[in-house]
Chain A
Amino acid sequence: MIENRPGLNALAHLALIAGVVIVALPVWIAFVASTHTATDFSSGTVPMWPGPHLVENYSRMLDAGVSTSGTPPVGRMMLNSLIMALLIACGKIAISILSAFAIVYFRFPLRGLAFWCIFVTLMLPVEVRIVPTFQVVAGLGLLNSYAGLSVPLIASATATFLFRQVFLTMPDELVEAARIDGAGPMKFFRDILLPLSRTNMAALFVILFIYGWNQYLWPLLITTDAQYYTIVAGIKRMADAVDGLPQWHLVMATAVLAMLPPVAVVIGMQKLFVKGLVETEK
């Protein structure tokens, strides 16, 4: 439907601008808050424009952190988050592409059951199985470790389904041509399936990286050693001031910093991301 009426155009723009303002306002407030001192923000009127303490606040967070809440410097927590998000994203992609490969291209006994088992895990996100998972991870001695942070979040039904869908769109003749060309199953996987799923992997990487980065409850639960705090869980700890007001200006500075890596990933991989989600021709 393409219409050219100036009135409607203006209305559409108005609605979009309103949407942008609603989404962007909290981010703006967070940024503004991170450039003021602690007292400016809790004195009653919320400032709407950046203050003069930007460099001071950010360098303090990057160098030292907030010692009263026991969190390490932001740099350390960002690194932890990055490692966790990368492990989760790469692990999920690797496991789900292999399981989708098995489900689509091999006929083995109990294939249907395997498929349904994967399907059922969709109904069991981390939050639901958090107590038993914690017990297992604790039993394995993985508390306060990168493995403990990422492994329980890696198994993924959604990604498996996405790759299954991708593989089902591959023409059968391609598989047959490869068979006649003497490519065994793993060779076919490496030489043909992997390169052809490249854009889908990229799209999934973006989604999963953000999923991993934003993990909150699980890291909060299994990290007690400040060495392993992730940034999202760290923000929560900072906001929990025991004896006094939270230092909002520092919390907000950390929040702004925490937003940057996911934004960078989305912007950097935007092209591949869109291609991977809309491309159908193989």
Chain B
Amino acid sequence: MASITLDNLGKIYPGGTRAVGDVNIDIADGEFIVLVGPSGCGKSTLLRMVAGLESITEGEVRIGDRVVNRIEPADRDIAMVFQNYALYPHMSVRQNLAYGLKNRRTPRAEIERRVTEAAEILQIGPFLDRKPRALSGGQRQRVAMGRAIVREPAAFLFDEPLSNLDAKLRVQMRLEIKELQRRLRTTSLYVTHDQLEAMTLADRLVVLNGGRVEQIGTPLEVYRKPASAFVAGFIGSPAMNLLDARAVPHLPGTAHAGTIGIRPEDLSIAANGPIEMEVTAVEELGAQRLVHGLTGGEAITITLPPDAPLSETLRLGFDRGNLHLFQRETGARIN
């Protein structure tokens, strides 16, 4: 177990394209950090730089108190779980788990002990002698995690490990990963583009956009006080309404703001509220109802209880404390 420090980390590809820049993150021992952002934001590159699969062109990565910039992936004391599992197709599950240990010349009895233990934790004991192709997606995922666990590394690196699973299994595995990490207390770095996965798993979230860190914080901090309009729109489902201040000029207290954000769940129907919304579509989710519409030409969404009365136009109100104000040019938070 160890802490991980990313110090001014950056990556410029040979062609001159900058994939990642100025990343500073201190990951405490045992912490679960989730890197989240849209595709192409550099989150996978960042993870692969920590793993040693991508060379580092700027800054430093430290695992424990050792700078690992020029150390081979195998010697960094990390284990990685890949999106498509990357199991060795010709080896049985047992051999898959043992391969990394065998290469490190771990004594046979010790390998046996660790494999049995990991199999028990992940409940893959019955499949130990099967080939990966005879396993379901969820089982393969477990084997991939088992391969990381048996190594007993300083850190786990997860590269979108759940995106190849169906929705139901994803929710279940998400929970299992969280429990597993809590139990093993291994420092973890997890990459995903799914903000829900990020919110539920993370001790702290790192929101990335265009290769730069937009915000670092606990899921609640990020949700309640997004540092920029980008984070505001990315975290939370349904997404926060971001309105151009010019489209709603009459809102009080928004004089200097370029963009006004308000979460759909913070809006409510109020007879003489300041926002008038023209309803264009309704989505029934069972427990609630998502109503989409337009105000001053800007799209706006509101969540309502399923029995709320609907009409062509709605007047909406909100609590002033729930407004998020952002600068027009930089998108940075004002209030």
Interface residues of B in 69-102 (CB under 8 A from A): 72-75, 78-80, 82-90, 99-100
Shortest distance in angstroms between B312's beta carbon and chain A's nearest beta carbon? Answer: 53
Residues of A169-189 whose CB lies within 8 A of B: 171, 173-174, 176-183, 187
Instruction: Tell me whether A171 and B86 are in contact (CB under 8 A).
Output: yes
Contact B100 A173 (CB under 8 A): no
Q: How far is the CA of A178 from the CA of B100 in the complex (A)?
A: 8
A196 adjacent to chain B (CB < 8 Å)? yes
Q: With the chains together, A177 CA to B104 CA distance in Å?
A: 14
Chain B residues whose CB sits within 8 angstroms of the CB of A176 once the complex forms: 51, 53, 73, 80, 82, 86
Say whether A182 contacts B51, CB under 8 Å.
Answer: no
Question: Which A residue's beta carbon lies closest to that of B78?
Answer: A180
B103 within 8 A of A: yes
B residues 121-141 in Cβ contact with A at 8 Å: none
Distance in angstroms from B135 CB to nearest chain A CB is: 15
How large, as a class, is the contact surface on chain B? 20 to 34
Does any Cβ of B come within 8 Å of A195's Cβ? yes
Classify the secondary structure of A's interface with B.
helix
Q: Assuming A187-B103, A191-B99, is B74 touching A179 (CB within 8 A)?
A: yes
Per-position binary interface string of chain B over residues 203-216, scored 1 when its CB falls under 8 Å from any chain A CB and 0 otherwise: 00000000000000
Chain B residues near A183 (CB-CB < 8 A): 74, 99, 103
Q: Are B103 and A196 in contact (CB under 8 A)?
A: no
Q: Is A192 an interface residue (CB 8 A)?
A: yes
A5 near B: Cβ within 8 Å? no
Question: Nearest Cβ distance between residue A113 and chain B, in whole angstroms?
Answer: 20
Residues on the B chain within 8 Å of A192, using CB: 88, 90
Instruction: Verify B82–A282 contact, CB threshold 8 A.
Output: no
CB distance from A111 to the nearest CB of B (A): 16
B159 nearest CB neighbor, chain A only: A173
Cβ-defined contact, A177 with B86, below 8 A: yes
Residue contact A180 to B88, C-beta cutoff 8 Å: no
B96-116 Cβ-contact flags toward A at 8 Å (1 or 0) = 000110011000000000000
Bound complex: CA A219 to CA B27 (Å) = 70
Q: Is the CB of B82 within 8 A of A173?
A: yes
Judging by beta carbons under 8 Å apart, are A180 and B84 in contact?
Answer: no
CB within 8 Å for A182 and B74 given contacts A176-B53, A192-B88, A196-B90? yes
Interface string of A25-50 (1 = CB under 8 A from B): 00000000000000000000000000
List B32-54 residues whose CB lies under 8 Å from chain A: 51-53
B86 touches A173 (CB 8 A): yes
Let me know if A180 and B100 touch, CB within 8 A.
yes
Within 8 Å by CB of B80, from A180, A191, A282, lies: A180
B84 partner residues in chain A, CB cutoff 8 A: 171, 173
A179 touches B72 (CB 8 A): yes
Cβ contact within 8 Å between A182 and B86: no
Chain A residues with CB under 8 Å of B52's CB are 179-180
A173, A179, A196, A282: the one contacting B73 at CB < 8 Å is: A179
Known contacts A180-B100, A181-B103, A187-B103; A174/B88 CB under 8 A:
yes
Chain B residues with Cβ below 8 Å from A282 are 89
A181→B74 contact, CB < 8 A = yes
- The answer for the CA separation of A195 and B92 in the assembled complex, in Å, is 13
Contact between chains at A195 and B90 (CB < 8 Å): yes
Cβ-closest chain A residue relative to B133: A281
Q: Which residues of the partner chain B approach A191 to less than 8 Å between Cβ atoms?
A: 88, 99
Q: A182-B103, A183-B103, A191-B99 are in contact. Are A177 and B90 (CB under 8 A)?
A: no
A and B contact pairs by CB, cutoff 8 A, 22 listed: A171-B84, A173-B83, A173-B85, A173-B86, A174-B86, A174-B88, A176-B51, A176-B80, A176-B82, A177-B88, A178-B88, A179-B52, A180-B73, A180-B79, A180-B80, A181-B147, A182-B103, A182-B104, A183-B74, A191-B88, A191-B99, A192-B90
